[in-house]
Amino acid sequence: MDAFKAYDDFLLKNVAQISTIESALRSLSYILPGRFQDAELTSQAIYAGLNVMSLYHNSVLRRAANDYIAQKQGQGLEESPFNKYTRFWTSASAPHRTISSALSLLGYTQVLIEMIAIKKLSPSQHYQVVAVLEAIKALLRLTLFRLTKHRMLLYPTHLERDVDPSALDPQRHRHLQTPTYHWTGRRTGKEIPFIGTTIAMDKQQRSSSRFSDVNDYLMSRVLTAEKLRKPSQMVNIMSSLARFGEVASIFRPLIYVLALMVYGRKAWKPWFISLAIDLIANYAILRGYQAPDGRNMMMPLEKNEYHRRLRLLVLYVIKGAFYISITRPKLERFCNRLETKPVLKMGAGILRDYLPLWQNIYFYSSTS
């Protein structure tokens, strides 16, 4: 425990550099594939380890932000609606907290596990490992769905980083708090900031002011419906039709893997089966949230999650038979055309290194 406390102290003393270091390491993991033998495995190990570490960093930063808020030093560090909702369920239910953590760990390490399976096992055993992972995730998600009393499952299942690490930098706060740019009421002791230090009055003040204009400042003071809503009210309990769509969405990845094991990677049936389930599930969820008068009853968090799922349909162009038959040949021709371009050929080389990975690694194009 002393080691963790020492690491937390070190983290908070160097809090402004956290995002920079993490971004640099992530960028390194993106360009490693194809550079040397087993570079893909090394790259994914770095990426998985960094993401797991980021989960811990997020919890430390959120605790520090809450301390700043309690000391009235960290205005603007309020918890995001997503984190407010997620923290409610992880705090109220120990099984929910455990399952959420397990899903996050699986999500960050599944590509690494699959790469090791490809290296050590036969092709048939490789897909058996993938099927086991998808079955575990489906079971965990179904359990979460029941624990939340049939509410839409949001992604990710862990708390997001909703705090800018530089905002918690002690040096920054000392620098900002040295001058006194506020009026203090003699009776109440309430501090009212001067308008010039709060709102940018001209272009020169934009870098030092917290708000760009009057509307930005006023909106920060407004109690919106999202801020007043209880966490349990931020996501609706689903109707029967929407529940059907959510359960279909949960089991869709497992069904797709089983279809690949039966028909093979180059067959079109698994691709069409998976796409059909996705479309039916999304349509059922959308209809399940419609009121009798046609209005959409989704809350903001539900709309964000639903739109995220719609965007993920784009990944079908690098999935299964569609990628093998259509997308990859076009990308290879595109890379060949760039080989003669002095600067662009570097980007083409990186893209070419990813082409076999998108075909051979299931979880690279998986939306689960």
| pLDDT of 358 above 50 | yes
CA atoms within 13 A on the CB side of 151: 22
| pLDDT of 208 above 50 | no
- At residue 170, the pLDDT reads 54
| pLDDT of 254 above 80 | yes
Q: Is 244 exposed, middle or buried (0-12, 13-18, 19+ CB in 10 A)?
A: middle
DSSP states of 181-202: -EEE-TTT--EEE-HHHHB--S
Residue 24: pLDDT band with limits 50, 70, 90: low
Lowest mean pLDDT among 66-70, 252-256, 304-308: 66-70
Lowest mean pLDDT among 1-10, 48-57, 133-142: 1-10
- At residue 352, the pLDDT reads 87
Q: Specify the higher pLDDT residue, 27 or 125.
A: 125
For residue 222, the SS3 value is coil
Lowest mean pLDDT among 60-69, 80-89, 155-164, 165-174: 165-174
The share of the chain scoring above pLDDT 90, in percent, equals: 42
Average pLDDT for 281-294: 93
- At residue 311, the pLDDT reads 95
Find the angle CA(60)-CA(61)-CA(65) to the nearest 5 degrees: 120
Residues 6+ apart with CB under 8 A from 58: 158, 159, 160, 161
Distance CA 252, CA 256 (A): 6
Average pLDDT for 269-284: 97
Lowest mean pLDDT among 1-15, 38-52, 112-126, 307-321: 1-15
| pLDDT of 147 above 50 | yes
Residue 72: pLDDT band with limits 50, 70, 90: low
Average pLDDT for 44-52: 81
| pLDDT of 247 above 70 | yes
Nearest Cα neighbor of 308 from 202, 93, 153, 95 is: 153
Residue 135: pLDDT band with limits 50, 70, 90: very high
CB 247 within 8 A of CB 145: yes
| pLDDT of 43 above 50 | yes
Average per-residue pLDDT for the chain: 81
Average pLDDT for 151-172: 74
Residue 177: pLDDT band with limits 50, 70, 90: very low
For residue 264, the SS3 value is coil
Distance CA 23, CA 193 (A): 35
- At residue 205, the pLDDT reads 46
- At residue 211, the pLDDT reads 54
The share of the chain scoring above pLDDT 70, in percent, equals: 72
| pLDDT of 317 above 50 | yes
- At residue 137, the pLDDT reads 97
Residue 77: pLDDT band with limits 50, 70, 90: low
Count of Cβ atoms closer than 10 Å to residue 253 Cβ? 25
Q: Specify the higher pLDDT residue, 27 or 172.
A: 27
For residue 327, the SS3 value is helix
- At residue 175, the pLDDT reads 44
- At residue 169, the pLDDT reads 57
- At residue 198, the pLDDT reads 53
Distance CA 277, CA 256 (A): 9
| Per-residue buried b or exposed e for 22-52, using 16+ beta carbons within 10 Å of the residue's own CB | beeeeeebeebbbeeeeebbbbbbbbbebbe
Average pLDDT for 257-275: 95
CA atoms within 13 A on the CB side of 223: 2
pTM: 0.78
Q: Specify the higher pLDDT residue, 55 or 242.
A: 242
- At residue 125, the pLDDT reads 92
Q: Specify the higher pLDDT residue, 38 or 203.
A: 38
